[in-house]
């Protein structure tokens, strides 16, 4: 069995607090000391594992009394989640960003595991190979179309197709 890397351990540590609280407030240096790592490791974890696409908002205050506050976005309804993802969608979407968005849809029970897997296969590098430099644009358009379809389905209560 593979040992989890430090980023995974730190992520799980922070998510443990977020399961029972709406937010967690940390001091970067204290967490780095606790995990015997450099403070930039904490920055990396927060920047890559706690994004808006993944359902988190991060605030920070610099200085002696500085902190990093991570808040789980509590979107009540499917339509709120879908609308938020549409608003976040930029003209270019990397595969990493797409994975985060699809995972968010799955974690919030908007799409099934099978739908998530199919959507990711559609948007992976190998599927968009012919698009070349335009793959990120095409991925964004695919995601936008899927989100609009989900939005319409949620509003109208219509069928999946």
**Shared domain check, 82 and 68:** no
Query: Greater confidence, 65 or 87?
Result: 87
What is the count of structural domains for the chain?
Answer: 2
Mean pLDDT of 125-150: 88
DSSP tally for the chain: helices H, then strands E: 7, 3
Q: 36: domain range?
A: 6-72
Mean pLDDT of 38-54: 87
**Shared domain check, 82 and 66:** no
- Residues linked to residue 71 through DSSP beta bridges, in sequence order: 23, 57
Res. 161: pLDDT tops 80 = no
CATH number at residue 67: 3.30.56.130
Q: Which helix (H) or strand (E) holds 69?
A: strand 67-72
Report pLDDT for 3: 66
Mean pLDDT of 13-34: 89
Mean pLDDT of 65-87: 78
Report pLDDT for 77: 66
Q: What are phi and psi of 151, to 5 degrees?
A: -65, -45
Mean pLDDT of 33-62: 87
Q: What is the pTM of this model?
A: 0.55
Mean pLDDT of 138-144: 94
**Shared domain check, 43 and 109:** no
**Shared domain check, 64 and 15:** yes
Asked which of 34-43, 53-62, 99-108 is least confident by mean pLDDT, the reply is 53-62
Using pLDDT thresholds of 50, 70 and 90, give the confidence band for residue 1.
Answer: low
Residue with token string 């995974």: 8
**Shared domain check, 151 and 92:** yes
**Shared domain check, 54 and 17:** yes
**Shared domain check, 60 and 12:** yes
Residue with token string 């939005």: 151
**Shared domain check, 134 and 68:** no
DSSP state of 65: T
3-class DSSP state of 67: strand
Q: Which helix (H) or strand (E) holds 75?
A: none
Tell me the C-alpha distance between 113 and 119, whole Å: 10
**Shared domain check, 55 and 113:** no
Among the candidates 72, 92, 113, a domain finishes at 72
């Amino acid at each position: 069995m593979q040992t989890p890397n430090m980023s995974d351990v730190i992520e799980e540590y922070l998510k443990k607090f977020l399961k029972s609280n709406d937010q967690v407030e940390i001091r970067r240096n204290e967490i780095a000391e606790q995990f015997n790592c450099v403070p930039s490791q904490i920055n990396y974890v927060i920047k890559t594992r706690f994004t808006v696409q993944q359902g988190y908002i991060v605030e920070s205050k610099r200085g002696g009394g500085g902190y990093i506050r991570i808040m789980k976005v509590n979107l009540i309804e499917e339509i709120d989640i879908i609308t938020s993802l549409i608003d976040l969608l930029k003209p270019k979407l990397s595969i990493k960003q797409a994975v985060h968005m699809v995972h968010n849809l799955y974690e919030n029970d908007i799409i099934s595991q099978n739908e998530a897997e199919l959507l990711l296969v559609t948007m992976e590098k190998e599927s968009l190979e012919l698009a070349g430099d335009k793959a990120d644009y095409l991925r964004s358009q695919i995601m936008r179309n899927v989100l609009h379809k989900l939005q319409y389905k949620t509003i109208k209560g219509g069928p999946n197709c």
